[in-house]
Amino acid sequence: MTERIADVEIPDSRLVADATELVRDAASPLLFDHSRRVFLFGMLQGRRRGLEPDPELLYVGAMFHDLGLTERYGRTDERFEIDGADEARRFLLAHGISEDMARRVWLGIALHTTPEVPGHLEPEIALVTAGVETDVLGIGYSDLEPAQIDAVTAAHPRPDFKNRILAAFTDGNKDRPDTTFGNVNADVLAHFLPGFTRADFVDIIQNSAWPE
């Protein structure tokens, strides 16, 4: 039977079922519920903006966007966003999705912590960020109907979410602090990782190898 939450249909396909199983197996309940909310809020924000994403691709983008914070898929040599993006591309290509569509999902995940840019790209990219912004930052919260928010959070609750997601960001980035340069996770580590010193863009320019 087709699942609907807040009048958003969860696509009933093998691709979506396999994505759900992969993320449920790899991620904590915190990240699983958050990722499902990202899809739902992304779809709802898309309706408000007049955007029509491919629901399956948006679902995979939303579900895989934080896989880099998991023990199974997190690495230490690149930004955590790239970990999830790379795994999503592999997953989609293995399921027969075209390289172009897989690229959209890759970009949606890779850019989901980069302000403004995703909103100028394809709906599958823009709405991963829109869903993340609604669930994590509260951006667009007041644009949704209270009944929609209640339905989403009833299906996927968020107990103490603010503190728990910040802890997940810290845990997922503490072993690769240099990868947070220029993105929002530097703020997280500055708050929660003792001894962390963020790189400074001005210092990098002034101390570069150029002689002048």
Q: Is the pLDDT of residue 1 over 80?
A: no
Task: Give per-residue pLDDT as tens, 136-177.
Answer: 999 999 999 999 999 999 999 999 999 999 999 999 999 999
Task: Give per-residue pLDDT as tens, 10-31.
Answer: 999 999 999 999 999 999 999 9
Task: Give per-residue pLDDT as tens, 102-112.
Answer: 999 999 999 99
Whether 46 and 53 have beta carbons less than 8 Å apart is answered as yes
Per-residue confidence (pLDDT) for residue 85, from 0 to 100: 98
What pairs with residue 8 in β-bridges?
Answer: 5
Residue 212: pLDDT band (50, 70, 90) is: confident
- What's the pTM value of the predicted model, to 2 decimals? 0.96
**Structure-block tokens of residue 155:** 């299906």
